[in-house]
């Protein structure tokens, strides 16, 4: 009965899409938007009833959000006097906190266990995508700020989405998590350097300001997540716990020093900044983890579901607000920017996989590197564009690239999932041989 409902919803979505096409031909943009939004909602719900298609449900919800913001941008730019774009950075911080809270310092041990794979993955991540981005921006002659956005999406690290795709594709998930963690931790230093070098010809790039923004949006929330995980799960040794409780304040001190350099702040401002950061990113996670651990009675699954839901909603809101803010610019270069984003994304997959193969990496690792190179942290790129005050131009490429990579990544992951890794086939044959 339930499967029948899902099937009817998929049929209804097709009818609604046809209705949107008819409305478009009749120049009724208002109803076109209504039909499209309703079509994506019913399709996003309908695919939940299919094992092969349910992985696309969240992507379709993102399409719903983008469609709504394109047709009715006035509802997604402000509420009264409050500008909705101000939500982007806090939401990104919450998403990164969620990422950190599901990890531990021990996850970085993968650098020691898989040094070749990590080094190759990190190197390819920070070379292929920035250089491909620069090439695309130069060849297609985009306006300077939009070109800078293309380069920016190439200069940021990979994010959570690439880990999910590696899991779906039966790739090396441990390697994926480690590469994402390492590139994220390196991003405050490498991303500003790459943007200054490659993107500086299109827009002015303040190195120290960008470094501070990445530390605030990515590193400190992850530190808060690590701290939360450390206290909530209590699965680290006493020596490791003490070392981490000392190391995390040191990171906050270093971030404060970058703040001092970026803002030319005095001692009073530096002290206040340090105390605020310690409160938000160190003491609050400790207290919060103690309270929640007692309230949830060690049920980590509930917390994971809550943080996962917050992350998914947060990403959808970020994409919606950016699309609404940059709608006018998007209408001018939208199709070309979509095509070049697709080219950028495919180049990352192809070159990542090929170069991993040329360096002798096994199939599982090649799949992992393809996702880690081809899929970027669009939320971070969007946040940086906002901090530059150029969300409607520099932020356009990240707004398009993010949803697009989830579509292509889902398709590639499901395709690879249906094709067993050669090493697994060999092992299965050996086990079946008497």
Short-list 95, 221, 200, CA closest to 151: 200
Instruction: Look up residue 406 and give its two tokens.
Output: 């989830």
Residue 322 has pLDDT above 70, yes or no: yes
User: Is residue 359 classed exposed, middle or buried when 0-12, 13-18 and 19+ CB atoms within 10 A define those classes?
Assistant: middle
Question: What confidence tens digit (pLDDT) does each residue in 32-68 have?
Answer: 999 999 999 999 999 988 877 777 787 788 888 888 9
How far apart, in whole angstroms, are the C-alpha atoms of residue 200 and residue 268?
33
Per-residue pLDDT, 37: 95
Quick check: is 404 in a domain? yes
Average pLDDT over residues 237-260: 92
Quick check: is 427 in a domain? no
112 shares a domain with 2: no
Count of domains for the chain: 2
Residue 432 has pLDDT above 50, yes or no: no
Short-list 249, 241, 288, CA closest to 104: 241
Q: Is the dihedral of CA 319, 320, 326, 327 positive or negative?
A: positive
Span of 105-109, 211-215, 413-417 with lowest mean pLDDT:
105-109
Residue 430 has pLDDT above 50, yes or no: no
202 shares a domain with 54: no
How far apart, in whole angstroms, are the C-alpha atoms of residue 253 and residue 335?
45
Residue 100 has pLDDT above 60, yes or no: yes
Which of these three, 72, 101, 118, is where a domain ends? Answer: 72
223 shares a domain with 243: yes
Which of these three, 72, 101, 120, is where a domain ends? Answer: 72
Quick check: is 431 in a domain? no
Q: How far is CA 98 from CA 246, 305, 332, 385, in A?
A: 21, 10, 36, 22
How far apart, in whole angstroms, are the C-alpha atoms of residue 129 and residue 191?
12
Which residues lie below 8 Å from residue 102, measured CB to CB, with a gap of 6+?
225, 229, 304, 307
Average pLDDT over residues 364-392: 92
Quick check: is 321 in a domain? yes
Per-residue pLDDT, 109: 65
* CATH assignment of the domain containing 272: 1.20.1530.20
249 shares a domain with 354: yes
92 shares a domain with 61: no
Q: How far is CA 400 from CA 150, 244, 261, 335, 371, in A?
A: 10, 38, 33, 10, 17
What confidence tier does 133 reach under pLDDT thresholds 50, 70, 90? very high
Short-list 129, 124, 186, CA closest to 356: 124
Prediction pTM value? 0.86
10 shares a domain with 153: no
Paired residues of 78 in beta bridges: 83
Average pLDDT of the chain to the nearest whole number:
87
Based on its alpha-carbon atoms, the radius of gyration of the chain, rounded to whole angstroms, reads 22
Per-residue pLDDT, 387: 92
**Which is more confidently placed, 310 or 374?**
374
Which of these three, 72, 99, 130, is where a domain ends? Answer: 72
Span of 174-178, 190-194, 262-266, 360-364 with lowest mean pLDDT:
174-178
233 shares a domain with 164: yes
Short-list 368, 367, 378, 316, CA closest to 341: 378
Quick check: is 126 in a domain? yes
Average pLDDT over residues 269-279: 95
What confidence tier does 110 reach under pLDDT thresholds 50, 70, 90? low
What residues make up the domain containing 355? 83-422
Q: Is the dihedral of CA 102, 126, 347, 89 positive or negative?
A: positive
Instruction: Look up residue 55 and give its two tokens.
Output: 């992985």
């Amino acid at each position: 009965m339930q499967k029948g409902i899902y099937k009817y919803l998929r049929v209804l979505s097709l009818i609604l899409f046809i209705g949107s096409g008819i409305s478009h031909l009749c120049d009724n943009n208002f109803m076109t938007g209504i039909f499209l939004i309703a079509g994506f909602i019913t399709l996003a719900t309908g695919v939940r009833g299919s094992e092969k298609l349910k992985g696309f449900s969240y992507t379709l919800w993102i399409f719903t959000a983008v469609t709504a913001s394109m047709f009715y941008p006035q509802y997604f730019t402000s509420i009264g006097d409050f500008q909705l774009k101000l939500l982007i950075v806090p939401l990104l911080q919450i998403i990164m906190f969620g990422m950190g809270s599901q990890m531990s310092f021990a996850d970085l041990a993968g650098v020691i266990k898989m040094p070749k794979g990590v080094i190759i993955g990190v190197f390819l991540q920070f070379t292929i995508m920035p250089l491909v981005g620069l090439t695309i921006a130069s060849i297609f002659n985009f306006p300077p700020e939009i070109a800078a956005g293309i380069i920016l999406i190439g200069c940021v690290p990979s994010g959570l989405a690439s880990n999910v795709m590696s899991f779906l594709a039966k790739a090396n998930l441990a390697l994926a998590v480690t590469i994402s963690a390492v590139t994220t931790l390196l991003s405050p230093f490498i991303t500003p350097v790459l943007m200054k070098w490659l993107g500086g010809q299109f827009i002015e790039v303040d190195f120290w300001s960008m470094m501070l923004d990445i530390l605030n949006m990515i590193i400190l929330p992850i530190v808060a997540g690590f701290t939360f995980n450390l206290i909530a799960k209590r699965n680290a040794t006493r020596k490791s716990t003490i070392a981490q409780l000392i190391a995390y304040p040191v990171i906050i001190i270093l971030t404060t020093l970058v703040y001092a350099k970026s803002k030319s702040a005095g001692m009073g401002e530096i002290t206040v900044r340090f105390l605020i950061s310690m409160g938000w990113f160190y003491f609050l996670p400790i207290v919060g983890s103690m309270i929640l651990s007692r309230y949830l009675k060690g049920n980590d699954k509930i917390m994971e579901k809550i943080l996962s839901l917050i992350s998914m909603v947060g990403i959808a809101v970020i994409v919606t607000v950016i699309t609404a803010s940059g709608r006018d610019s998007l209408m001018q270069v939208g199709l070309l920017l979509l095509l070049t984003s697709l080219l950028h994304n495919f180049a990352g997959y192809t070159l990542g996989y090929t170069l991993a193969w040329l360096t002798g990496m096994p199939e599982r690792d090649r799949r992992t590197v393809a996702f880690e190179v081809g899929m970027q942290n669009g939320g971070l790129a969007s946040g940086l564009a906002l901090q530059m005050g150029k969300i409607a131009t520099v932020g356009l490429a990240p707004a398009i690239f993010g949803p697009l990579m989830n579509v292509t990544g889902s398709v590639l992951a499901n395709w690879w999932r249906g094709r067993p890794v050669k090493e697994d086939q060999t092992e299965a044959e050996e086990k079946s041989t008497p």
